[in-house]
Amino acid sequence: MAGFSPSNVDSLIPAAMTEAAGEWLGSLDPTQQGQALYGFHTSDRLNWHYVPRRRPGLPLKAMSEDQRRGIWRLFAIVLSDRGLAKARGVIEVEGILGALTDRPDFRDPANYALAIFGLPSADEPWSWRFEGHHLSLTFTIVPGVGVAATPSFFGSNPATVPSGHRQAGAELLVQERKLGFGLLHDLNDVQKRSAVIATRSLGDIVTGPGRETSLSCVQGLALREMSEAQRRIAMQLVGAFIGHLRPELAALEELKIRESGVEAIHFAWAGSLKPGSPHYFRLHGPSLLIEYDNTQNAANHVHTVWHNPANGFGNDMLKEHYARSAHD
């Protein structure tokens, strides 16, 4: 994929995804295609979740090894090395959870599915989602307009693998935790009084499935009220969430966030001010909403989500596409 840059990413990455998704669909038999392919305008396109459940798409356990490799080739077009490692890590932690709970049939690393909405095309919008327990990655491709990468969810249970397991101490979402606490602890007492919105954790992410736009008002401490050094930490924290995208896509997302006004982003915290007890934080601005929650299982169970409030599921891009089409 050499040759990508922020100036040409909107044309090259969609074309590469269209080709890779088309090749993957072509490798499926008719029964598999019936499980994998949906209409673009079906409600299933918006039906994302992060709990164990039956979900749209063809699961890994129903694929050949070649077909599984085809999925990771699609991932490599849009995910960074860190993003690929995080996605693989979520699936690996699911196997660890199965061993810890003695329920490998329920906590199944092969129960992650790829669904494609609309035929991959250079002319019409289409989308794909890879999803299973604690992982939901949605990409919407709008030809001539761009690629939307939200909603995007990563979770981990256990957040830190407990002693007694061969991977004891491993922590999948460590960067997000460290930067969140790092920003909190860099605030002075006055700033903390603005940032802390509740003494107890909120219990989970607020903007879950079907509630993507439920946080309409910002809370907490505005980045305009932070020092330059604190704003740098805040943007590093943003980078921990959008950095699962390949660098060219992440750079475009950061540009949109900055153009909307970094100073208008608010940092909000709820719950314990120290690791090890339930806590929650978010960064919320005009084109950004990220949430981190670690409440369940004695604060060893993390949920994280990233939204673009205006462009979830590519809504803004789709409006532009259909407006253009109406004038053609």
Q: 181-195 pLDDT, tens per residue?
A: 999 999 999 999 999
What is the mean pLDDT of the segment spanning 118-141?
A: 97
Residue type at 8 in one-letter notation: N
* pLDDT the model gives residue 319: 94
What is the mean pLDDT of the segment spanning 35-51?
A: 97
DSSP code, position 124:
S
Q: Is 317:310 a contact under the CB 8 Å cutoff?
A: no
* pLDDT the model gives residue 249: 94
Residues shown for the chain? 328
For tokens 């979520």, the residue is 90
**Residue 197 structure tokens:** 């919105």
For tokens 């995208």, the residue is 245
Give Cβ neighbours of residue 112 (< 8 Å, ≥ 6 apart): 59, 60, 91, 130, 131, 132, 133, 135
Q: 147 pLDDT band (50/70/90 cuts)?
A: very high
DSSP code, position 314:
G
Q: Is 151:48 a contact under the CB 8 Å cutoff?
A: yes
Residue 152 and residue 242: Cα distance in Å, rounded?
A: 9
Q: How many helices (H) and strands (E) does the chain have?
A: 10, 13
For tokens 């997000």, the residue is 176
* pLDDT the model gives residue 2: 45
Q: Which of 309, 276, 273, 274 is nearest to 290 (CA)?
A: 309
- Tell me the torsion sign for CA atoms 321, 84, 134, 58: positive
Q: 164 pLDDT band (50/70/90 cuts)?
A: confident
* pLDDT the model gives residue 85: 97
- Say yes or no to pLDDT of 83 above 70: yes
Q: Which of 162, 186, 200, 223 is nearest to 294 (CA)?
A: 200
Name the packing angle between helices 65-78 and 9-26 (round to 10°).
170
Name the packing angle between helices 9-26 and 247-261 (round to 10°).
130
* pLDDT the model gives residue 3: 47
How many C-alpha atoms does 190 have within 13 Å on its Cβ side? 4
**Residue 215 structure tokens:** 């946080």
**What value does the CA radius of gyration of the chain take, rounded to a whole number of Å?**
20
Residue 13 and residue 246: Cα distance in Å, rounded?
A: 10
Q: Which of 249, 210, 208 is nearest to 76 (CA)?
A: 249
* pLDDT the model gives residue 1: 43
CA dist 294 to 51, 68, 83, 104, 105, Å? Answer: 16, 31, 20, 24, 25
Residue 12 and residue 73: Cα distance in Å, rounded?
A: 15
Q: Is 56:116 a contact under the CB 8 Å cutoff?
A: no
